[in-house]
Structure 1
Amino acid sequence: MQYALTAEEAKQFSQRIKIDSKREDQSNLDYLNQIVQHFQEYIPFQNAFLLATPVEKRRRLTWDEVKNDLLSGQGGLCYSLNLFFHIYLNAIGYKTDLALSTYSSPNDHTVIIVNDVIQNSDKYMIDVGSGYASSVALPLDFEDESPYYSFSYTTLKLKWDENKQNILRIHKSQKTGQEKVVLKFHLVPIQDYFVGLAEQERIFTDPTFTPFHRILCILSFNKDGARILEGRQLVRENIQTNMLQNEGDEIQDENTFAEICAKEFPSLNLETCRNAYNHLFNKPVI
């Protein structure tokens, strides 16, 4: 299986996320950050496609399925988002690797490592598949830990573990200031995507592996703040406080749900949204 994009497909995706060619006065890092921001605005993190798929047919997506979902703006879970974005960045001239990460179980997640952005041997981390805003490439040149970064409602830092084998992504609570390790990753590139990502098969087939078989989540990070469909509730970020607030009452029927999807996430397939809603709320939960 060839994990690649043609020049025409890369151009098509650039148009999908409304990204223009790099200006002559624009640095590689500034352009990269612009692409990351546009990706998180126009490509939703979502598990509606999974809930809309009959349980017995759920499986890891092929590369062609991942590619079609992203080129059409459907988005998906971390497996699709980080894999595709890594391939896309390489197709437009960046040097990136995909590295395994541990979110809740070993090797159940990935991050993107971008190499030689400003100068030879520098490294940056990108993660557009965690369900949190991370709107710039984070430099990995720190000795022990990075400064804090704030994106939308998330405040985070990176820190080497005690053996300097893995980098920890640590989130800081807005309310209490408490820190929590959300994930860890290393810098060793995946050489064979089909084999290296095999553990992520369970994301699609094992209801006990992740909560995404039991909850409905669609989100993106717009210029005016995050917007999230959590089950029956639309949640929006107050960009003055970076706090999340419920908007409107709980959604009670599939038609209202589809209308909100069409308004807030216009690239999504509405039949997929309807099927996901009906699976979760009008049938027994698996």
Structure 2
Amino acid sequence: MSMKCLNIISCLLIDVVCQCVTKMLSLEEAKKYMIDVFGILNVDELLSNRNKLEVITTINDAYREVEPYQNIIMLAEPQSKRRRPTWTEITANVKKRCGGMCFTHHMFLFEFYKALNFEVALVPAQVSNYWNHTVILFRNLVKPGDLYLIDEASAYPTFNPICLDFSEKSPIMYHSFLEYRYTKHNGSIYRMHRKGDQGYRTFDPKTSFYKDGWRKFSEFRIEDETKDASSLNDIYDNVFTNPNITPFHKSLRVIYFPGKKAKIICNKKVLLEVCDGELEVTEYESEDDLIKCINAILPMLGEELIRKALSHVALYK
């Protein structure tokens, strides 16, 4: 039997075991992450706060400081060996503050908030008309029956939990370089971008929703929510193996918001937020210089891994 088959079987066996467990993290384990990884020292005081919206915002702010969105770990593997990370790999990367793609961030946060006894669910979402994303819902957070969303892994800033109890449109939000809002449309909820939208360059009016200067970035249906994380495995198996449903098999990405200021790497370009949401762009003409830049921003990944990732996107050939 080939090593690839053994790896796949190992991954599936771990998933089967995980599906039999109600909570992947205990309360004490979740607290340990807060202290050791996220740098939150007043854990018991924070969790005793009756303002649960404030609790989540504080935790997410600390999480975002140390956990980047990046596809370097996936890109470092040859296309034929890429696969959905196991729970063991997810927690290892969070502990090392390596972050990852949507699956890593939201699977971890879903289990983390479940361990803290929040009422949470996952919802599959479409980006660019493909099922390749997920968001996290919180119920009964501020008052009975309310509904909030967090999205810490869209590669765009979402600095606060978003209340979804609006009739048609949420308030407009300005986070980092981006102006955005959520709207309800034909039973779905759309995330709409306007000023600062980085996706306009690939906007296709034939396949994308665009209205009054707003471009649809993603959409989901609340009715699709699930508390069974394994029900999303097929979606993410596709994300990690099919290069046609996400650009991240062919394009390097790092998105990081230390101090709520953007640090973005998009192939050869590095975009740094300087002030008032403005992005200063530097393009690196040398692979070695780009590697040094990435390593300075994300030293936890290591130069060898970064170099492997770049070898699979061939930016300088």
The alignment's TM-score, normalised by the length of structure 2, stands at: 0.80
1:154 alignment partner, one of 178, 186, 195: 178
1:237 alignment partner, one of 265, 273, 278: 273
Secondary structure of the corresponding residue to residue 295 of structure 2: helix
Change (3 A) 1:224 1:147: closer
Deviations 1:203-255 (A, max 9, x none): 1111222111111011111116110122122210122x2021114x515134x
Conserved? CA contact 1:257–1:277, under 8 Å: no
Q: Does 1:76 align with 2:100?
A: yes
Match of 1:47 in 2: 71
The worse-fitting range, judged by mean Cα deviation, of 83-92 and 18-27 is 18-27
- Which whole-Å CA distance do the structure 2 matches of 1:178 and 1:129 have between them? 24
Q: Does 1:9 align with 2:29?
A: yes
Q: Does 1:212 align with 2:248?
A: yes
- Which whole-Å CA distance do the structure 1 matches of 2:144 and 2:162 have between them? 16
Runs of 4+ in 1 over 6 A off after TM superposition: none
Q: Does 1:140 align with 2:164?
A: yes
Conserved? CA contact 1:203–1:209, under 8 Å: yes
- Which whole-Å CA distance do the structure 1 matches of 2:49 and 2:315 have between them? 54
After TM superposition, give the deviation of residue 174 of structure 1 in Å.
4.3
In the TM superposition, what are the counterparts of 1:1-286 in structure 2 within 5 Å? 1-2=17-18, 4-14=24-34, 15-20=36-41, 21=43, 22-23=45-46, 27-162=51-186, 165-174=187-196, 178-187=213-222, 188-223=224-259, 225-239=261-275, 241-247=276-282, 249-254=283-288, 256-281=289-314
Secondary structure of the corresponding residue to residue 192 of structure 2: strand
The worse-fitting range, judged by mean Cα deviation, of 133-142 and 215-224 is 215-224
Unpaired runs of at least 5, structure 1: none
Deviations 1:129-156 (A, max 9, x none): 1000101100111111111011101111
Structure having the higher helix fraction is 2
After TM superposition, give the deviation of residue 269 of structure 1 in Å.
3.6
Conserved? CA contact 1:233–1:251, under 8 Å: no
The alignment's TM-score, normalised by the length of structure 1, stands at: 0.89
Aligned residues: 279
Deviations 1:137-190 (A, max 9, x none): 00111111111011101111111113xx22111111249971011111122322
- Which whole-Å CA distance do the structure 1 matches of 2:190 and 2:315 have between them? 40
Unpaired runs of at least 5, structure 2: 1-16, 201-211
Change (3 A) 1:172 1:9: same
Change (3 A) 1:95 1:234: same
- Which whole-Å CA distance do the structure 1 matches of 2:30 and 2:291 have between them? 30
Identity of aligned residues (%): 25
Letter in 2 for 1:13: Y
- Which whole-Å CA distance do the structure 2 matches of 1:130 and 1:252 have between them? 29
